[in-house]
């Protein structure tokens, strides 16, 4: 039989272990209001529950997908008010996807320039260096 009380009452270290999140990151998310303040025991210890675990996993997955703190705040506001629609979430997601595609295009351009510049470099012990010349120009 599973003890549901112990599953719902977690100390911060256990929340960190269950989610793979750093303790300081949890504190930060609480400080900026992305994580709700957990109730405290009589001794003052924070006690987290399954809702905290789910919310933190949501935030962490969003960060893995490159959503900014601001983007995630927007998504969480939609979730928190309980009236979110797929259309609203899609708008935010498509904006983020557009930003990601722009970054990918920029990285491809940077890769092309760096590869061409590195190919011009002899790698020998000479004072002339095409890489430094490209950076200086």
Q: Is the pLDDT of residue 43 over 60?
A: yes
The predicted-structure confidence for 46-62, as pLDDT tens digits, reads as follows 999 999 999 999 999 99
Supply the pLDDT for residue 18: 95
Which range among 1-15, 18-32, 76-90, 117-131 has the greatest average pLDDT?
18-32
Q: Are residues 65 and 124 in the same domain?
A: no
Neighbours of 53 (CB within 10 A): 18
Number of domains in the chain: 2
- Domain with 79 in it: what CATH number? 1.10.1660.10
Specify the DSSP element, H or E, that contains 97: helix 86-120
- Please list the residues that pair with 40 across neighbouring strands: 46
Domain that holds residue 102: 85-137
What's the token pair of residue 80?
A: 């928190």
Cα–Cα distance between 87 and 103 in angstroms, integer? 24
Using pLDDT thresholds of 50, 70 and 90, give the confidence band for residue 6: very low
């Amino acid at each position: 039989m599973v003890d549901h009380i112990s599953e719902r009452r977690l100390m911060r270290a256990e929340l960190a272990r269950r989610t793979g999140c750093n303790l300081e990151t949890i504190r930060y998310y609480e400080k900026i209001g992305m994580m709700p303040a957990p109730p405290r025991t009589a001794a003052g210890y924070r006690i987290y529950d399954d809702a905290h675990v789910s919310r933190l996993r949501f935030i962490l997955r969003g960060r893995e997908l490159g959503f900014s703190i601001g983007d995630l705040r927007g998504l969480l506001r939609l979730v928190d008010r309980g009236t979110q629609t797929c259309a609203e979430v899609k708008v935010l997601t498509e904006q983020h996807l557009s930003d990601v595609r722009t970054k990918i295009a920029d990285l491809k351009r940077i890769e092309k320039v760096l590869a061409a510049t590195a190919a011009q470099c002899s790698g020998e012990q000479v004072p002339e260096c095409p890489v430094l010349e490209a950076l200086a120009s």
